[in-house]
């Protein structure tokens, strides 16, 4: 019985004879050297310490949980309150029980220049109020995930941030190629 590897390589050879390997599609602009990012005005910015507790987790897992918590919190806002918000860990993850500083910002709505005056006034104020409400909801979601948030402290001087433009999530390689999940690298 041929080994799995040789079977696969035979398959590949046959396939390549019949259908020459398709040329790789050029990458979209957003995935090349200059990824599309945009500068957005910040209406509310605070720094929070998040202390992971509970079970053992990697940095990537904690990051994913924080992102999930923010998404869950945003879903609890009403349609009128829907506001752009981002969080980002500053520095590295040191482990369970150690506070990890994160920046939390809410963004001003994207509007045309006609409405700019409005944004600078009333909408900004409203943005701050929604920002505080969202932060409260976010904290609740964090706690549910065994991520203990510390008291927010002002993040002075952060008036704008550069964030990636929203785009549909890319298809995972495994799903796209039909491959089985790759063995995770073992770590020392």
Partner 1 sequence: MPDIPQFDPSFEDTSLQAQFRILVALARALSHGLNQPATFLAFERAGLSGNQVVGHLGAIIAAHIEDGVEEVNAIDGIWDAAFAGPKFRNTIGPCRDILEAIRAQSLAELPKPNSFFDLATANAAAHRFTKETLKKHGLDELLPAEPARVEIFADLTAVHFCAGTSRMAHKIRWAYQQVPHALEGLLLADLILSHEYLSHLVPINSHLDQSVREGWLVSALRETFQSVPSVPRWKRALWVDHRSHLYRHFLKVQESLPGPPSAVLFEGFSALDEQAIRLHAKSTTQFWKFTGAILERPESQEGAKDIAWLLYEIVRRATEGIDHLMSRKHMDIDDLVDYWDS
Residue numbers at the binding site for partner 1 (CB under 8 A): 5, 8-9, 12, 24, 27, 30-35, 45, 52-53, 55-60, 63-64, 86, 88, 90-99, 101, 103, 105, 153-158, 161-164, 170, 172-174, 179, 182, 184-188
Whole-angstrom Cα distance, residue 106 to residue 40?
10
Nearer to partner 1 by C-beta: 113 or 173? 173
Structure tokens at 54: 């509970």
Nearer to partner 1 by C-beta: 90 or 121? 90
Minimum distance from CB of 96 to partner 1 (Å)?
Answer: 5
Residue in this structure with the two tokens 């433009």, named with its chain if needed: 165
Whole-angstrom Cα distance, residue 38 to residue 30?
12
Structure tokens at 117: 């005056």
User: What burial class does residue 131 get, using C-beta atoms within 10 Å of its C-beta: 0-12 exposed, 13-18 middle, 19+ buried?
Assistant: buried
Minimum distance from CB of 122 to partner 1 (Å)?
Answer: 25
Whole-angstrom Cα distance, residue 178 to residue 130?
43
Nearer to partner 1 by C-beta: 122 or 172? 172
Minimum distance from CB of 108 to partner 1 (Å)?
Answer: 14
């Amino acid at each position: 019985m041929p080994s799995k590897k040789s079977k696969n390589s035979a398959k590949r050879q046959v396939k390549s004879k019949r259908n020459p390997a398709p040329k790789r599609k050029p990458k979209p602009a957003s995935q090349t050297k200059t990824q599309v990012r945009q500068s957005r005005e910040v209406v509310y910015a605070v720094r929070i310490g998040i202390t992971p507790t509970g079970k053992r987790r990697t940095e990537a897992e904690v990051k994913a949980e924080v992102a999930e918590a923010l998404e869950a919190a945003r879903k609890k806002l009403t349609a009128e309150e829907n506001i752009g918000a981002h969080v980002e860990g500053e520095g590295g993850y040191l482990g369970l029980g150690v506070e990890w500083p994160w920046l939390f910002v809410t963004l001003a709505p994207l509007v045309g220049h006609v409405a700019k005056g409005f944004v600078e006034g009333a909408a900004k104020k409203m943005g701050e109020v929604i920002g505080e409400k969202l932060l409260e909801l976010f904290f609740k979601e964090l706690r549910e995930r065994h991520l203990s948030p510390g008291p927010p402290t002002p993040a002075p001087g952060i008036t704008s941030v550069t964030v990636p433009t929203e785009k549909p999530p890319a298809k995972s390689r495994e799903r796209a190629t039909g491959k089985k999940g790759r063995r995770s690298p073992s770590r020392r």
